[in-house]
A and B are shown apart, each in its own frame.
Chain A
Amino acid sequence: MTTTPSETHVGQRERPQSDGPILVVEDLSVTFPTQDGPVTAVKGLSYSVEMGKTLGIVGESGSGKSVSSLAVLGLHDAKASKITGSIRVAGTEVVGLSEARMRKLRGNSVSMIFQDALAALHPFYKIGNQLSEAYLVHHPSASKRDARRKAIEMLDRVGIPQPDRRVDDFPHQFSGGMRQRAMIAMGLINDPSLLIADEPTTALDVTVQAQILDLLQDLQREFNSAVVIITHDLGVIAETADDVLVMYAGRAVEYGTVKQILTKPEMPYTWGLLSSIPDVAASTDARLIPIPGNPPSLLSPPSGCSFHPRCAHVDKVPGGLCATELPALTAASGANHLKRCHLPNPELIYRTEILPEIAPDLVEEIR
């Protein structure tokens, strides 16, 4: 890192605490000491999520999207990681919170859905017991019978057939989609106000994925909870998120509403993501343009803009600025649309160079 620009805060934070955003992350950095030196997995990340809204976080593996969310739940080992900055969940500062107090928060006002449901559910315990445990921990006065009734109710809510019988099944007796549902039920059993879904549908078939996304949206509407959905599938983002945060090499590189990010992106990495996925509905003349190279190592991140070694537009920036200076997260053309890029006229480049290649049928419409 050559410079440390002041981070522009994403979202609104001037609002009073009572109806302000449920999750506020400010200047979050997570560093892990390793044998080969410290790895800074997340650098200067700021964002916020309001009640009833969905934030989508996109990026490749190793871009820090999971690490930042695990930090929200306080799941990093304090001895093996260094977390700076601030994370406030419903007004409570999470960074540096004691494990005992964190446990009260975790699963109660914040909970998480993991990618691999088979690995996240305990193979030795019945589904029902795992659900009731989550309930009992946060409701000490409740009886076991109440907890079981609640578990059956939740399984029914997420659409598991015959919940009163399936509650006594073990995880391996459930199909992949049902396991994911059971985990969603576990995450929602205490009516959390913030739900973090880490690649909730990546391992699932499209039909099951559609069912799970429908379910998440229905439940969000019902509980008015805030959802952070982490994925690399831009299609999932397009259909579920309100706002999108694009991450690369531990930093936010673009932020905006889902419409801004997916129809008028202004950062070459987002262009790369859009051009490297084929689309079921696009014209077959559309080209598939991969991002060259591999994601950088976080042990020795590139100087300047961390995307510059893979960026096709480096020579459009005068003075080789990309390789020497880290661009700040500054305002793009739209309202509340932020980008981290030196390019002076990204809209023009996107419209004239990128769009004709990846979606020739869209060029006219967008104009």
Chain B
Amino acid sequence: MTQDPNVRAEIEPTELGADAAESGERDLRTDEHADAYSDNEVLVPGAFEGHVASRLDPDAPAVLEVEDLKMYFPVKSSGLVRRTIGHVQAVDGVSFQVPKGGSLGLVGESGCGKSTTGRLITRLYTPTAGSMMFEGQDLAKLSSRAMKPLRRDVQMIFQDPYTSLNPRHTVGAIVGAPLQVHGIVPKNKVLSRVQELLEVVGLNPEHYNRYPNEFSGGQRQRIGIARALTLNPKLLVADEPVSALDVSIQAQVINLLQDLQKEFDIAFLFIAHDLAVVRHFCPEVAVMYLGKIVEIADRETLYAAPFHPYTQALLSAVPDVKQAAIGGRRERIRLEGDVPSPINPPSGCRFRTRCPLAQEICAKVEPPLLQVGPRHKVACHFAGELGQHPATPVTAGLLGVDDQGSPSSTGPEAVQVPTGPGYEKDWFDVKTRRMTSQAGPA
């Protein structure tokens, strides 16, 4: 991918960019003025054309398989002897897979553990338990030294472009740092690779000697993306990559990420709280609540016919621009109260304290993440489409308990519910309450 530095001379910067770059001027006035246009200077092909939502490739092999991932942060007592008095169960038994070149969205309220999951995958934290299989290696068990070569393949884009770039380093140093750390290209080739990357993300390659403060928020986020791309990663963890940006700039960055995904075949774990952005970017979406995945499905199913009451409430809370044509507020499911503390989560189903459907069984038995469709899993005793939730728990038969959640001796034996990260050929149909498969009656 490295280029001959001489080729670089052929790039013709437009007037404004050239002026600023040649004179090295840091005067605010000229810089700001140039910046207003500089995004147009080097266009990624198609960056400013419209982009339709990403599509799902159902046969793509998984690049990352996460199984039963747990992260417990110890809570220490105050005083001289700081004993551990409890644990924040930030992530508690999460399983999913990210397809090669595809993207999985991770949504949920703040404090649900979605960012922690992202940081576990990039091994910024060491998980308490569970496995993260990436190309035949378990990221969870590797030492920091053994992790280093894998960091080339797993990179991260951070939320806040103002705090994730070192203000005292030039853009060239920031984007080039991974190349030097991993010793991939000789020192004299670093600059040309950096310029190439800046061009890829739609920045003027001549700006490599500028500092982050000379760029706007959207441009800084592009620098962060360029840094993540430096080592040609196979998996990018994007933790709220657009939520700190202005609306008009958000779309630019989302389109850029879509282009890069297509061009370099990068898999994304896309963490965001904005359900509309996730819907556009990710063909598959997982919804988290208090450290657990409550529902995971392909986009069409999750947004059109979610089965979990939390997903339904979350979707109904999103303000809709189309409401303007009708006027007034949309009918919405009101969730009472706040998210409970992850130090001492509710027994059974963690959502039951705020759930409109909660019954006795919800406090006693934790619902398993049950596959209910070809690409749809949900963790709820009363899973069903909005307004069609069953009156008796659908899971009772599977778990070997009666409708109140007490162990049942008369009912059928407990069935081993598959808890793996992938999808099975057979699934449990909530309407007929029988195992169904693709060939069978839908």
Contacts and interface: CB of A to CB of B under 8 A. Distances in A.
Interface stretch (A87-95, A228-236, A321-329, A344-352): A228-236
A297 B31 CA distance: 10
Interface stretch (A73-81, A104-112, A175-183, A185-193): A175-183
A302 B49 CA distance: 24
A37 interface: yes
Nearest to A63: B246
Given A273-B248, A275-B50, A294 B35 contact: yes
Given A276-B247, A288-B51, A209 B322 contact: no
Contacts of A263: 324-325
B338 A178 contact: yes
Contacts of B264: none
Given A177-B338, A206-B275, A239-B330, 4 more contacts: A238-B319, A262-B321, A281-B320, A285-B53
Given A205-B273, A207-B109, A238-B322, A60 B247 contact: yes
> Which A-B residue pairs are the 7 nearest by beta carbons?
A287-B50, A235-B319, A290-B251, A262-B324, A297-B32, A276-B251, A278-B280
Contacts of A214: 329, 334
Contacts of A282: 322
7 contacts: A213-B329, A262-B325, A290-B249, A293-B37, A293-B39, A293-B40, A299-B33
Given A37-B29, A281-B320, A296 B36 contact: yes
Given A61-B246, A239-B319, A288 B254 contact: yes
B119 to A, nearest CB: 19
Interface string A205-235: 1111111011001000000000000001111
Contacts of B37: 293, 309
A211 B318 CA distance: 11
Interface string A291-310: 11111110110100000010
A279 B51 contact: no
Nearest to A178: B338
A285 B276 CA distance: 14
Nearest to A281: B320
Contact of B314 (A207, A258, A294): A207
Interface in B286-344: 299-300, 303, 313-325, 327-330, 332, 334-335, 337-338
Interface in B58-72: none
Interface in B242-296: 246-252, 254-255, 273, 275-277, 279-280
Contacts of B216: 294
A274 interface: yes
A311 interface: no
A274 B48 contact: no
Contacts of A294: 35-36, 39, 216, 218-219, 249
B29 A300 contact: yes
A282 to B, nearest CB: 8
B180 interface: no
Interface of B: 27-29, 32-33, 35-37, 39-40, 48-53, 109-110, 216, 218-219, 246-252, 254-255, 273, 275-277, 279-280, 299-300, 303, 313-325, 327-330, 332, 334-335, 337-338
Interface residues of A, number: 65
A161 B338 CA distance: 11
A272 interface: yes
Contacts of B299: 284
A34 to B, nearest CB: 9
Interface in A235-261: 235-240, 258-259, 261
A331 interface: no
Contacts of A273: 247-248
B191 to A, nearest CB: 26
A11 to B, nearest CB: 19
Nearest to B323: A238
Contacts of A102: none
A14 interface: no
A288 B324 contact: no
A206 B339 CA distance: 13
A364 interface: no
A286 B322 CA distance: 14
A207 B275 CA distance: 12
Interface in A27-41: 36-37
A21 B28 CA distance: 41
Given A60-B246, A207-B109, A239 B320 contact: yes
A213 B319 contact: yes
B322 A297 contact: no
Contact of A209 (B40, B277, B319): B319
A289 interface: yes
